[in-house]
Amino acid sequence: MSLIGKLSKKWRAGLRRLRLGQQFKHQYNCHPDFDLIRDDTHCTLLWQQQPLARIPFSHILSKSMQGPCWIVASGPSLAEVDLHKIATYPTISLNCAIKKFVDSGLTPTHTIIVDHRVFERQWECVTAAIHSGANCFFSFEGLSIIAERAPELLQQGNIYLIESATRKYGIARWSIKQCLQQFQQDPDIALAEDLLPYCRAIGFSHNLQKGVFAGKTVATWAVQLAFGLGYRAIYIVGMDLGGTGKAHFYADKNNPAPDFLRYYEPHIRGCFELARQASEKTGVKLYNLSLNSALPAAIIPKIAFTEALQQINEETSSLK
């Protein structure tokens, strides 16, 4: 893009932000030419006011899955994991963990990317996820970037829109008071009683149609997604959250990892404590297989990779 083109885009984005105002601040990162029209099960993406693609919401897959599921995060401990050992099970690849699948010659069942920075700076992870054929759960910010850079990818038929419970495109963001009024009476939503001022980011959703809570890490999105899809046992690998002092399982000096320890308190801790409570309430098993993770076992139980495999094999044998 030329310098004039970049300045024009920046100027238009600034005008759009003024027009949107604070209640629609969550849409600031979307391209000025992007728009989205909602219906009950799908959304129509527009570019320059012209229909571009029809994308289903994540909730159309609610309770369509069963059995165990492996969530594969991109922490440094993933380098030690042999994905071939879980190749026969459903998997959810987080952000650039898709690189591990590609290098292993495997395809995840699902992928999830919600951070606009991954779409902007690690585009190869986005295209790899789409071309893998996995169900791709993307944020509306991500869809905006795809519409700008490679709109033909939106016709692949494997992309779904997953949304935050409090930051939905085209809907004004609720105040804290409005969130409390709505969520505290909703049986599908759990809030942390000691963290109510953070109710726009910290919570747990049992209903994908109502959206999920962000918690400052894609891992919290993925856990709520796995619950919503219907999996009954969830095993998380590569979720170190800064516990090893390293960035990713792959070397990428141009794209440093987020400072998870900075966001641990209260966002990550709060969301995973609610995830544990959801596990206890529903009987869905939830384990963290990163033994050096910054997330303590008191919040999400930790087991070894081999123990998880044994647990699944024993449960499968008991059903025969």
Instruction: Let me know if residue 14 belongs to a domain.
Output: no
Spatial separation of the C-alpha atoms in residues 127 and 130, rounded to whole Å: 5
The tens digit of pLDDT for each residue in 107-147 reads 999 999 999 999 999 999 999 999 999 999 999 999 999 99
The tens digit of pLDDT for each residue in 215-237 reads 999 999 999 999 999 999 999 99
Spatial separation of the C-alpha atoms in residues 245 and 273, rounded to whole Å: 23
* Closest by Cα among 166, 187, 258, 251 to 216: 258
Q: Are the CB atoms for 236 and 219 separated by under 8 Å?
A: yes
What is the structure's pLDDT at 253? 59
* Closest by Cα among 317, 276, 313, 319 to 85: 313
Instruction: Let me know if residue 229 belongs to a domain.
Output: yes
Instruction: Let me know if residue 119 belongs to a domain.
Output: yes
Give long-range contacts, CB 8 A cutoff, 24+ apart: 47-51: 47/147, 47/148, 47/151
Instruction: Let me know if residue 259 belongs to a domain.
Output: yes
Residue-range definition of the domain harbouring residue 117:
21-318
Residues of the chain under the 70 pLDDT cut:
1, 5, 243-260, 318-320
Instruction: Let me know if residue 242 belongs to a domain.
Output: yes
What is the structure's pLDDT at 4? 75
Task: Check which CATH number belongs to the domain holding 91 and give it.
Answer: 3.90.1480
How many domains is the chain partitioned into structurally? 1
Instruction: Let me know if residue 7 belongs to a domain.
Output: no
Residue 290 CA neighbour count, 13 Å, CB half: 26
Instruction: Let me know if residue 2 belongs to a domain.
Output: no
